[in-house]
Amino acid sequence: MQIEDLLKKYDGFVFDLDGTLVDSMPLHLAGWEYAANIFGFRYDATWFYNLGGVPSRKIANLLSEQQNLNLDLDAVTKKKTDYYHQVISKATVFPAMKELVIHLFHHRPLAIGTGSVRANVNTVLSNNGLHSYFQAITAADDVVHHKPNPDTFLLSAAKINVQPSRCLVFEDTAIGLQAARSAQMDCVLIIDGKPDWNTFTRFNADKLC
């Protein structure tokens, strides 16, 4: 199946932000490493990356539980967040993803579904000239149950008036994939800033018939 034929099957598209649309994950990871040096918890880049899409305070809570620490969750979250705010201007859109967004914008409504807070989402989208391409944004502020729960993507679909089964999600983590599948949405993983269409074949083979 050609990619264009595949995309025509959907009435809307939902994009994760960090690591999917923009190259911001290294900045988030640097923020966690900075906080680790202050609070003395163990920093594992892979572990933190795999939690992409989970709000920072929830990550801090998981961190405290898994490492058997008594961390001040608000203090850890603030240090990590303060660092990210200092470097947020370095969060740049992946060229291949901007090209995809521009292409899809002319055919179907687009939404952002992210674990980042709305203020950061607005800053990153504005800095990269992307705000006008998205009809709706669902941020961490908008839901109680974050990824891997489906709420972020379900609300995104509702905001663009598209049935979940008629949405295609673009994500970069297993947690994001799990959230999409829980929402009964198809998903393509983004690897190194580009859609890996082979992941659609693996995760949504029934859609190819």
In tens, the pLDDT along 124-182 reads: 999 999 999 999 999 999 999 999 999 999 999 999 999 999 999 999 999 999 999 99
Q: Catalytic residue numbers? A: 16
Percent of residues, the chain, with pLDDT higher than 90 = 89
Q: What's the whole-number mean pLDDT along residues 93-108?
A: 96
Q: Rg of the chain over CA atoms, in angstroms?
A: 17
Kindly state the average pLDDT of the residues 97-101: 97
Q: Residue 209 has what pLDDT? A: 35
Residue 13 has a pLDDT of: 98
**What is the rounded average pLDDT for all residues in the chain?**
94
Average pLDDT of span 13-32: 97
Higher-confidence position of 201 and 87? 87
pTM to 2 decimals? 0.91
Do 190 and 196 touch, CB atoms closer than 8 A? yes
Q: Quick one: pLDDT at residue 2? A: 83
**pLDDT, mean of residues 27-41:** 97
